[in-house]
Structure 1
Amino acid sequence: MTDQAILVTGAAGFIGFHVARQLLAEGRPVVGLDNLNSYYDPALKRARLELLRNGRGFSFVQADLANREAVAALFAQHRFATVVHLAAQAGVRYSIEHPHTYVDSNLQGFLNVLEGCRNNGCRHLVYASSSSVYGANTKLPFAVEDRTDHPVSFYAATKKANELMAQSYSHLYRLPVTGLRFFTIYGPWGRPDMAMFLFVNAIVEGRPIRLFNHGRMRRDFTYIDDVTRVVSKLIDRAPVDNPAAANAPSRVYNVGNNHPEELMHVVGLLERELGRTAIKELLPMQPGDVLETFADVEDLMRDTGFAPSTPIEHGVRNFVTWYRDHFKV
């Protein structure tokens, strides 16, 4: 691989796979890194990787970002000018039971990426944050300028920490950084631990779907193709000094559909596409959950001329079509 290769961490993951595939389609060589852990079925990760390997310009490195020596060696070898950091230990509820995993992946791993960037001439680090940083904020829609210092899950706390770590490196070392606060990403090749995948699995198998807060929740569901377009548009737009970030070359954007959906409406769409009725188990609110997410994307639209807007009906149809094909339903 040449020095022009872009590093995509979490390349076997849901968002990382789609971003890597988009970059390869644009003719950009990609080095994909993933540890292929067993948080969910590694077979799905290997299937994504197989598709990436079928394209030209892709090479894969299996490594754990928490391994300081391995990450340092990778950066020293390639001296990546651009890094898209999407690897993380995901999941709000899982973080309550397994906090140490989040420290290893989301804090230690991110620090190793930051060190690799600053020591090897990286010109732009794009990294994944999360809408969970807004915690229990009640002002809607969530704007980038809103307070994010009251996380309601440990996962959210690690994502907020990532933003602060990136900001400090941007200030200290003039490292251009762009953080993306993702809002409930869904679509083909999605994560099996996320609501839409869980719901389809349960409906197909005739098991109950679990609806927390008795289904009275709203989420700003954001289709994966819109996310890859955002990354593609921002990757060559390294931020310049930002007065809102202590004049460091640092920016944060919301990446959401700007249109929250009732959870029951989404279940109804899935039932229609699958031709089956869901068995609904209504449960109380879970620790770490929030009632509603809603992204203000004015900054993103202003700076890129684009904002996610795929209708939920279209996205659900595409997801169910992929699910049927992949799992031979």
Structure 2
Amino acid sequence: MPEPILVTGGAGFIGSHLCEALLDEGWELWCVDNFCDFYAPATKEANIAPLLSHPSFHLIRADIRDKEAMRQLFAQRKFYAVCHLAAMAGVRPSIQDPELYMDVNINGTLQLLQLCKEYGVMRFIFASSSSVYGNSPSFPSRETDFVDHPISPYAASKKTGELLCHTWHHLWGISIVCLRFFTVYGPRQRPDLAIHKFASLLAKDQPLPYFGDGESSRDYTYIQDTIAGILATISFLAEEKRFEVINLGNDHAIPLCEVVQELEKLSGKKAQIHSLPAQEGDVHHTRASIQKAHQLLGYRPQTSFQQGMQRFWDWFERQGK
């Protein structure tokens, strides 16, 4: 029989793609999601709709902070591994509601780690973030960089999650990899993220909000490259007990102005720009060193920014904008 694996946040952007990939690999897939209203729950419903008829897909509508629901889930089956993606996402909203971010991202992670300890689940993947690097002078960002100066509650919550993971590895021998994702994009990207948001505004001939001078840059990583990295991490954790922090990026920083230019080319429209002050909590630049990911996981991104943007735009147009 296929071994069961748990994906938290499995109805989201990254989570739904991961669920698809794991089902394709033959896993018995358990997806937990609370379908919160951070963005339209109907979007997440659509993300997983094609999976509902799969005989190996099991959807649990629950919050990771719901102790009774989570304990019941762990008590009923022995998971091979937990892929913990569920979180309150976004730098700017975390400044408005830091208590919620700390509750979900820290207490939710703590509860899952504790359940893994209690029920003998010995493999755990934690979705961390490039935001933990803050405005570090080191570029590209390496896993050995000093990351004790977060500049948003979201970043602080992800750094805390990494610390909890290390503690549970040290105390209980759980094999854990913290994957620091760098701006993931592609089909089904969250509507609040820049590429999707800008595409929607451009399609409606509305101005694009430009925070800062437009020269800020991000290491945009195509969704299927990120998924390949997660799958490789699951295989990596089968080999031996260890704790690692690993960047999953593309090793290329793309300025915001280039993102807009690419969208203009794909849409055939000229963007209207609404210049705004830089936002508190936003880092200026991100770029991942992926040497460690290559050495440990065999990770090599396959998708150029232009290829990924074309695939995103094709999907976006199919959605009727």
Fold equivalence (TM over 0.5): yes
Q: Which sits farther off after the overlay, 76-85 or 138-147?
A: 76-85
1:281 aligns to 2:274 (yes or no): yes
SS of the residue aligned with 2:235? coil
What are the within-5 Å matches in structure 2 for residues 57-136 of structure 1? 57-136=56-135
Give the Å deviation of 1:181: 0.2
Q: Deviations over 1:78-102 (max 9, x none)?
A: 2212111100000000000011211
Contact 1:212 1:286 in 2 (8 A): yes
Tell me which stretches of 4 or more aligned residues in structure 1 moved more than 3 Å: none
In 2, are the aligned partners of 1:239 and 1:249 still within 8 Å (CA)?
A: no
SS of the residue 1:296 aligns to = coil
Tell me the alpha carbon deviations over residues 22-66 of structure 1, each in whole angstroms, 9 at most, x when there is no partner.
001111110000000000011110001212213331010000011
Tell me which amino acid in the other structure corresponds to 1:15.
I
Give, in whole Å, the separation in 2 of the partners of 1:162 and 1:284.
Answer: 31
In 1, the alpha carbon distance for the partners of 2:178 and 2:259 equals 28
Correspondence 1:316 to 2:305: no
In 1, distance between residues paired with 2:162 and 2:60?
26
Q: Is the 8 A contact 1:181 1:252 kept in 2?
A: yes
- Output the TM-score relative to the length of structure 1: 0.95
Q: 1:76 to 1:3 in 2, by over 3 A?
A: farther
> Which string of whole-angstrom CA distances, capped at 9 and with x for unpartnered residues, describes residues 306-325 of structure 1?
22241110111111110110
1:296 paired residue number: 289
Q: Distance in 2 between matches of 1:147 and 1:240?
A: 28
2:213 partner SS: helix
Q: May I ask how many residue pairs the two structures share in their alignment?
A: 321
Which deviates further from its counterpart, 207-216 or 286-295? 207-216
| Distance (Å, rounded) in 1 between the aligned partners of 2:163 and 2:125 | 14
Between stretches 153-162 and 99-108, larger displacement belongs to 99-108
Name the structure 2 match of 1:270. Answer: 263
CA offset digits 1:261-303 (Å, max 9, x no partner): 1111111111111111111112221100111001001011011
Counterpart among 258, 261, 274 of residue 251 in structure 2: 258
Query: In the alignment, what sits opposite 1:36?
Result: 35
Q: In the TM superposition, what whole-angstrom CA distance separates every residue of 1:124-150 from its partner, at most 9, and x where no partner exists?
A: 101100000001101100000000000
Cα 1:220–1:6 change in 2 (3 A) is: same
Letter in 1 for 2:99: H
Structure 1 residue 176: Cα displacement? 0.5
Report the counterpart of residue 25 of structure 2 in structure 1.
Answer: 26
Percent of matched pairs sharing the same residue: 39
Is there any run of 5+ residues in structure 1 with no aligned partner, and where?
242-247
Q: Does the 8 Å CA contact 1:210/1:281 hold for their aligned counterparts? A: yes
Q: Separation in 2 of the partners of 1:78 and 1:239? A: 19
SS of the residue corresponding to residue 214 of structure 1 reads coil
2:159 is aligned with 1:166? no
Cα distance change, pair 239–154 in 1 and its aligned pair in 2 (3 A) = farther
**Which residue of the partner structure matches residue 182 of structure 2?**
183
Cα distance in structure 1, aligned partners of 2:238 and 2:281: 32
User: In the aligned structure 2, how far is the partner of 1:35 from the partner of 1:105?
Assistant: 11
CA distance in 1, matches of 2:97, 2:264: 33
CA distance in 2, matches of 1:79, 1:29: 11
RMSD value, Cα: 1.4
**CA distance 1:144–1:240, shift in 2 (3 Å):** farther
Q: Are residues 145 and 239 of structure 1, via their aligned partners in 2, closer, same or farther at CA, if it must alter by over 3 Å?
A: farther
One-letter amino acid of the counterpart of residue 275, structure 2: L
Residues of 2 paired with 1:156 and 1:307: CA distance?
26
- The residue that corresponds to 1:245 in the other structure is none
CA deviations on 1:179-218 (whole Å, 9 max, x unpaired) are: 1000000000110110001100110111111111121111
Which moves more between the two structures, 110-119 or 306-315?
306-315
Deviation at 1:235, TM superposition (A): 0.4
